[in-house]
Structure 1
Amino acid sequence: MSTTPISATLAQTDRDAVLQAITTIKQKLPFLVDLSADDRKTLPKMGDKSRAFVSKALEVAAQNPEFLPRSFDLDEMRKDVQLFEALYPVLLSLTQLQELVDDTSLAVGSEAYAAALQVYNYAKASGQGAGLDTVVAEMGKRFTRKPVKVESKEPML
C-alpha cells in the first residue's frame, strides 16, 4: 500500500459534475440490463478465447448462411457482437475507474478511522473531568462485543 497519505477534498460542484457525468453515461447506454445473481451464473461467459470463437462463428455464418435455419437471426448476432466489442473498452475504463475510487475510498476511510482511534484514545486518557465522559462512553460502544453463547456439552437423554 502507498504510504503517502491522501490529503484532498472534493468540492460539491466537482462531485455534482461527476454524478452528472455518470447520469449522462447511463442515458447514453439505455439498453443496459440488471441481471440477477442466478442469471449471471447461468449465462455463458465470453472471455478472450470466446471472443475469438464468436468472431470466427460470425464470419462462418456470414459466409455460409445457407446452412443456418431460417429462424437464425444473423443480423441480430452481428449487432450483439458489434455491441460487445463497442462496450468492451468502456467496461475496461469503468472497471479501472471503479478500482481507483474503491481503493481511494478504502485508503481515506482507513486514514479517517485511524485518526478517530487516536482521538478516542486521547479522550479516554486525558478527557476525564473535561466533560467528555459521556462522549467517550458512547464512542466506546463501538468496541463492545456481544457475549458468545456457550453451547451446553451435556449429553442429551
Structure 2
Amino acid sequence: MAKSKAKAAAAEPKSKAEKGAESSAKGRAQAAAPKKGKEAWDTGEIGGIVSAVEQMLNEFMSAHVDDDSAMTGRERLRLFGAGVRNYGFIEKAWDIVRENPQFAPSQFDVAQFGADIESFDMFRQLYFLLEKFLQVVNEAMLTRSDALFREALRVYNNLREMSRGRVPGAEPLYRALLQFFRRRRTAEMVEGEEPTIKQLERDFNKLIHGHADGEIEVVSEKPRVSGGVRKVVDKVQTGRAVVKETAQAEIDK
C-alpha cells in the first residue's frame, strides 16, 4: 500500500508554481554556467593573446626596425608610399626589367629587385591581415563598451531617482556621474583663461541672434602699422570678464 501511494504521488502532475520555480532555478543555473562559443573569451584568454602579440611585436621590431633611426612625421612624408598607383608602378618596372634585362640600368641586380618585391608582398599581406584583425577587435570592443555604458547608465538612472527621492547619500554620488554629461566651456575651465577665436565667434553669433546675454568688448591698444595689440573682453554667459590680447597691425590714425 505504501509503495502504491508513493507511485501515485509521483505520477501526479506538478502545479504551475512548482513548474515556475523549477524553470527559474534552471535559468539561474544556466546563467551561472560558463558560456560557450563567442562569449567564452575570458580575461585570461584575451591576456594570452595580448602577450603573444606583444612578443611578436618585439621580435618584429628587433628584426626589421632600427631603434636608432626612428623616423619623424616629416621624414615619413618624404618617403614614397606603396599605394595603388605606386605599387602598380613598381610591378610594371619589375615586369619590364625581368622580360627585358638588357634595358636594366648598369649594376642593377634584377634578381635582387624581384626578391625585394616578394619580401615586400609579405609585408603587405601582414599589414592587411593586421588591419583586418584590428577591425575585428575594434568591433568586439565596441559592442562590449556599449553594453558596459548601458549598465553604467542603469547605475546613473538609479542614483538620479534615489537623489530625487532624497535618499541619504545618493545626491553626491549622482553628481559625481552627472559631471560626465555636462559640457564645460573652454573659457570657464580655468579662471582667467584667454578665450580662443572659436569661442569668441561662437559667443558673437549667440549675441547677434539673441541666444545669449552679455557683451563682447574690443579695445584697440597701440594702433600702429606693426606690433599693434587688441584687447578683447568676453562677458558672454560667464559672469566674469575674460581678457585676450592679440597682436594685429593697424594704420595709425
TM-score bracket for the superposition, by shorter chain length: 0.7 to 0.9
Say whether the 8 Å CA contact 1:61–1:68 is kept in structure 2: no
For residues 23 and 155 of structure 1, the distance between their equivalents in structure 2, rounded to whole angstroms, comes to 56
Counterpart position of 2:219: 156
CA-CA distance at 1:129 after TM superposition: 1.6
Counterpart position of 1:3: none
Over alpha carbons, which structure has the higher Rg?
Answer: 2
CA-CA distance at 1:104 after TM superposition: 1.9
CA-CA distance at 1:46 after TM superposition: 1.7
CA-CA distance at 1:60 after TM superposition: 3.1
For residues 55 and 90 of structure 1, the distance between their equivalents in structure 2, rounded to whole angstroms, comes to 19
Q: 1:136 aligns with which of 174, 187, 191?
A: 174
For residues 117 and 177 of structure 2, the distance between their equivalents in structure 1, rounded to whole angstroms, comes to 55
Higher strand share: 2
- AA of the residue aligned to 1:100: V
Give 5+ residue unaligned stretches, structure 1.
1-6
CA-CA distance at 1:28 after TM superposition: 4.9
CA-CA distance at 1:14 after TM superposition: 0.8
Q: Tell me the TM-score normalized by structure 1.
A: 0.72
The structure showing larger relative contact order (alpha-carbon pairs under 8 Å, at least 6 residues apart) is 1
For residues 84 and 185 of structure 2, the distance between their equivalents in structure 1, rounded to whole angstroms, comes to 50
- Root mean square deviation, CA, Å: 3.1
Q: Equivalent residues in 2 for 1:5-84 (5 A)?
A: 8=39, 10-26=41-57, 27-28=59-60, 30-32=63-65, 35-62=71-98, 63-64=100-101, 67-70=104-107, 72=108, 74=110, 77-84=113-120
For residues 9 and 140 of structure 1, the distance between their equivalents in structure 2, rounded to whole angstroms, comes to 34
Q: Tell me the TM-score normalized by structure 2.
A: 0.49
Aligned-residue sequence identity (percent) comes to 15
* 1:65-105 CA-partner distances (Å, limit 9, x unpaired): 675143x5555533431211112222221111101111221
Describe the SS at the equivalent of 1:100: helix
* 1:35-58 CA-partner distances (Å, limit 9, x unpaired): 533333332222234333212312
